[in-house]
Amino acid sequence: MLFRSRGVMNLLGKRMVETLGFVVAAMILCISPASAWSAEDIDIRYLVQGKKVIPVSCRIGDWEITDIKLPELVVTNRRKTPVTVEKVDVIGTISGSEAVRLRISGKPLSKAIGGTADMLNKQKPPLPTVQLSFGNVALPEGVLSENGTAVSGQSILLPLSKIAYLHHVGHRKLDGMEILLTVTFGGKKTVSSFPVRLTPYEVKGKYVFPVNGDVRMAFLPLSYIHHRASASQEFAMDLVGANQKDAESFTDISRPKPVKLADYSIWGRDVLAVGDGVVLETGDRFPEERMSDPDTFGKPGYAIGLIKELIPKIGWTNAVAGNFVVIDHGNGEFSAYCHLQEGSIRVKPGDRVNRGTVIARVGNTGNSGAPHLHFQLMDSPDFFIANGLPMMFENVPAQVMIAEFPVTGNTLSFSDSIFSAVP
DSSP type of residue 72: P
Q: How far is Cα 72 from Cα 163, in angstroms, rounded to an integer?
A: 10
Reduced to 3 states, what is the DSSP secondary structure of residue 110? helix
Neighbours of 354 (CB within 10 A): 10
- Which domains are delineated in the chain? 27-200 (no CATH), 213-421 (2.70.70.10)
Q: How far is Cα 385 from Cα 395, in angstroms, rounded to an integer?
A: 30
Residues present in the chain in total: 423
pLDDT at position 290 is 87
pLDDT at position 262 is 85
Reduced to 3 states, what is the DSSP secondary structure of residue 211? coil
Q: How far is Cα 212 from Cα 201, in angstroms, rounded to an integer?
A: 27
pLDDT in single tens digits along all 423 residues of the chain: 654 332 322 333 332 332 222 223 333 333 434 444 555 688 888 877 666 677 776 666 677 777 787 888 889 998 889 999 999 999 999 988 999 999 999 888 888 888 888 888 887 665 555 556 666 677 777 889 998 999 999 999 988 877 777 888 888 888 888 999 999 988 889 898 888 766 656 778 999 999 988 887 775 444 455 677 777 887 888 888 877 677 666 655 555 666 788 888 899 999 999 999 999 999 999 998 888 887 787 777 888 889 889 999 998 889 989 999 999 999 999 999 999 999 999 999 999 999 999 999 999 999 888 899 999 999 889 887 788 887 778 887 643 333 333 333 333 433 344 555 555
Using an 8 Å Cβ cutoff, are 159 and 116 in contact?
yes
Peptide bond into 125 cis (omega under 30): yes
Q: Counting beta carbons within 10 angstroms of the beta carbon of residue 55, is it exposed (0 to 12), middle (13 to 18) or buried (19 or more)?
A: buried
Cα dihedral 129, 130, 135, 136, rounded to 10, equals: 30
Report CA-CA distances (Å) from 316 to 159, 269, 322, 362, 384. Answer: 25, 26, 10, 20, 10
